[in-house]
Structure 1
Amino acid sequence: MIPDHKDPPRPAVLLSSGRPFDPARHGFGFPNPTGGPVPRTGGRLAALGARVRRAVYGRGLCFGMALGALLGHARDLDAAGLAPSPPLLADLRRLHLLQFRPCVVARVVFLWLSSRGGRPKVALRSLAPPGRTDLPPAVLCFGPDRLRRGFLGALAGAHAVVPYRLETRPESVRVYVYDPNHPKDRGRYLTVHRSGGFEYGGFSTGDGWGITLVPLSALPDLRRFPLREARGA
């Protein structure tokens, strides 16, 4: 495990939509909520539903928040000013559930296999053409890099972020991201080494993690999803 990388704030490079993505504006101003919705009481069916909700939402809404940030960016919404109100959290849960749709699961499995278990150099080739730094809207997911003992447990610890800028260095490439666990932080990036490995906080090639990029084309049209804009105090 390596410490999280930090950099001074810099202007964001344009996404393919032509509008600058700023994690301190288009990302949400509150941290990724864990624990899920309040469990319902009464009966075995309700208890089963509570366990399912805890399994789906208990570790947070990172995928839903990543999609919500991209949706807010497309609408030029100052998501950092939104309060984590019950209606907004309900909207983020709906977005979070998109990852479990069969068509999305099938596409993610295909992307994972085609990148040979999420090898970062293979994933980066699909992120942006050579010589470009502007990134098409996508969700970057950290997950286990191969089928192995404890795969499902590792999968439960997966995480999703929004990549928005590439910075090429002599021995590595930095991919700057909006991380739902770290609101309003413009300085977060993952490092992809020329040797093929990557590092980002507790995720790294050496610890058995890979990268899968989920383009918005793999998901339903986000324009029909609400993102209720109840402002914070």
Structure 2
Amino acid sequence: MDVLLNATLESDKSGLQVAIHAIGDKANDMLLDMFDKVVSLNGTKDRRFRIEHAQHLSPGAATRFGEHGIIASVQPDHLLDDADSAGRKIGVERAERSSYLFRSLLAGGAHLAFGSDWPVSDIYPLQAIRTAMSRKLPGWEAPWISAERLPLDDSLKAHTISAAYACFLDHVLGSLVEGKYADFVVLPSTSWREFADDIPGHVLATYVNGKQAYP
């Protein structure tokens, strides 16, 4: 960890954003400890540290993300791959206590940003939003860890403005306001309620910087 700490300290001093992968609960705790040390040594600033994946967290870790505004850069569709195997690998109780704690991370003050990790999992953002809201695998009758399901509003934010914030692009991307790029899609749904009840599998059109790019 000394090598990683020194590299992070110097990168942070140079103004670089640091993003590090961590999946297991111990790995996430080690990074949280290290980020705490970097903040204490380099001082407070808008650095937006990111932990990529943050899939399994120890008790209390979700709150620690919020203490220094650490971004949990998560990929909801990995849940579809892990839900069936996590219990076998780390035990059912531990898996259900620690896995993909999206709602707990938000409650703890973390910035939650969605991504795909493509080509490891599906690149389609609407699928990720559906997964975060339902946490239900194909063929499953009940969601996996239902208390961690997200409502539509939080899921949309995680895939738009929060994702832009996670890479210092929220001043130009992530929301439709004057002065930002007009990047948006046209959906077949007639209302947000309809969208939430039946998330579509396609978009009608895609606009990039205000210009139609699809179809």
TM-score, structure 2 length as denominator?
A: 0.25
Going by fraction, where is strand more abundant, 1 or 2?
Answer: 1
* Bigger helix fraction: 2
Give the number of the structure with larger relative contact order, counting CA–CA contacts within 8 Å between residues 6 or more apart. Answer: 1
Q: TM-score, normalised by structure 1?
A: 0.23
